[in-house]
Amino acid sequence: MSTVVQPLSSQSIVVVGGGIVGVCCALQLQREGARVTLVDPAAPGDSTAKWSCGQLAVSEVVPLSKPGILRKVPGWLMDQKGPLALRPSALPGILPWFLRFVACARPARIRQIAGELASLTHRVYDDYAPLLAACAPRTLVGERPILSVFDDAAGLEHERAHFALRETLGFHVEVLSPQALADLEPALAARFRHGLLFPDWRAVLDTEGFIVALTESFLQQGGVRLSGRAAVIEQAEGRASAVRLDDGRRLAADQLVVAAGVGAKRLLAPLGVSLPLAGIAGYQVVLPDPGVEIRHSVIYADGGFCFAPMTRGLQIGGTIEFAAEGAEPNFQRADVILEKARAVLPQLRTEGLHYGIGRRPFLPDTKPVIDRAPALPNVLLAVGHGQLGLTLGATTGRLIADLAARRTPAVDLAPFSCTRF
């Protein structure tokens, strides 16, 4: 039986998940004329991307898996203060995921994944432009590029192969002289003499405010946002017919988009979509009045964290922790970040500090799923963006709109299939 394609202007679409990916999907579908309802249990902006470093990291395409990563696991188990930690209690549950992760550490596989991610990240600014233009006038994205600093020349040299790969994919990386680094970041001049500049990256000035602004734009253009948790996707005649919420509300829809981060795993399993999603924790500390001027978002590669100046203060974080599903946050990880930051900048003021945690939805190959559910053609999937949710929000939304309208996307989506595992 052939599928009758309705114009999106005649359709109602429910998007499950109101974080950065979900709201961007909602906005792109709305631009096509669809009647869109966005569903999320949290307040606008209170999502994983709020507790990110806020970078539009367009060349962050090299996967986390690196050659020799398996040898590092004992160190991660022993050193809970390192930039990447593995709680011993998490090991049994995370092992199948981790074996898939390690399988991506071959050089050829790393190059392949990087190229596939680059097909998405090259489009980031073009895809965000119309969404940001429709927001209330305010500066949401800064103009300054991103820096990365290293303790010594050896740290910089270790990264050389990775930024060489980025350059082959069309991205730019500049090695900074000590003087150039000092000119860009005077506060760090006494501590660092080795650094990189990523001229094609930009920083969001307030990660929470960024998502709130996009959500407000969605609402002002006639969208509906409901507070609630999706419990079940109902089916009828081989299609999804509605989403039922925990409180019993039922939202009928012509199409459904699942952009629920780590929560997507629970929602999709009954549909026969099994995704090896892991919620990997990233901790952040916010200093409302740090007493130090940091001009750029600065990645301290050897320390495993980032200084991210935002309108709400200086946000410091980005470490990675593998913990068992449902485990309570370990905010001692945030204390470790702060301790390391004060070793770099002893003059930091910590009055009024507060902590945050984002559980980043990672798939083992660090690529997202952007696809159609195999058994239910009107269910679209936008999950597993890991550390690139903020970067890829608008691009994912545009591709989901292509799938919803049954257009051939400009990007080959085969590498982002939900069946690749």
Mean pLDDT by 10 residues, the chain (421 residues): 64 97 98 97 95 96 76 63 76 85 90 97 98 94 97 89 91 96 96 96 97 98 97 95 97 97 93 92 95 97 91 90 83 89 96 94 96 96 96 98 96 97 90
Q: What is the pLDDT of residue 297?
A: 98
How many other CB atoms are there within 10 angstroms of residue 155's CB atom?
Answer: 14
Q: What is the pLDDT of residue 266?
A: 92
What is the CATH number assigned to the segment(s) 62-106+140-203+277-362?
A: 3.30.9.10
Q: Torsion angle, CA of 366/159/391/68, rounded to 10 degrees?
A: 10
Q: What is the pLDDT of residue 68?
A: 62
Q: For residue 392, give the 3-state DSSP assignment.
A: helix
Is this structure's pTM higher than 0.85? yes
Q: What count of residues does the chain have?
A: 421
Alpha-helical (H) ranges within 84-239 are 91-103, 107-121, 124-133, 153-158, 160-168, 178-184, 207-220
Which residue, chain included where needed, has tokens 């500390």? 285
Please tell me what DSSP assigns to residue 70: G
Domain ranges (residues) in the chain: 8-48+209-275+367-416, 62-106+140-203+277-362
Helices 389-404, 107-121: crossing angle, 10 deg rounding = 70
Smallest CA-to-CA distance from 20 within 46, 58, 59 is with: 46
Return d(Cα 142, Cα 202) in angstroms, integer.
6
Secondary element (H or E) of residue 84: strand 84-86
For 8-48+209-275+367-416, the fitting CATH number among 3.20.19.10, 3.40.50.2300, 3.40.50.300, 3.50.50.60 is 3.50.50.60
Q: What is the pLDDT of residue 72?
A: 64
Return d(Cα 181, Cα 156) in angstroms, integer.
14
Query: How many CA atoms are closer than 13 Å to the CA of 276, on its beta-carbon side?
Result: 17
Task: Order the strands of the 12-16 sheet from edge to edge.
Answer: 224-227, 35-40, 12-16, 255-258, 379-383, 369-372
- Beta strands (DSSP E) in 192-347 are 194-198, 202-203, 224-227, 230-236, 239-245, 250-252, 255-258, 278-287, 298-300, 305-310, 313-317, 320-322
User: What tokens appear for 44 in the block?
Assistant: 């606008």
Return d(Cα 347, Cα 191) in angstroms, integer.
13
Return d(Cα 320, Cα 305) in angstroms, integer.
9
> Please, what sign has the CA dihedral across residues 275, 276, 279, 282?
negative
Q: What is the pLDDT of residue 2?
A: 39
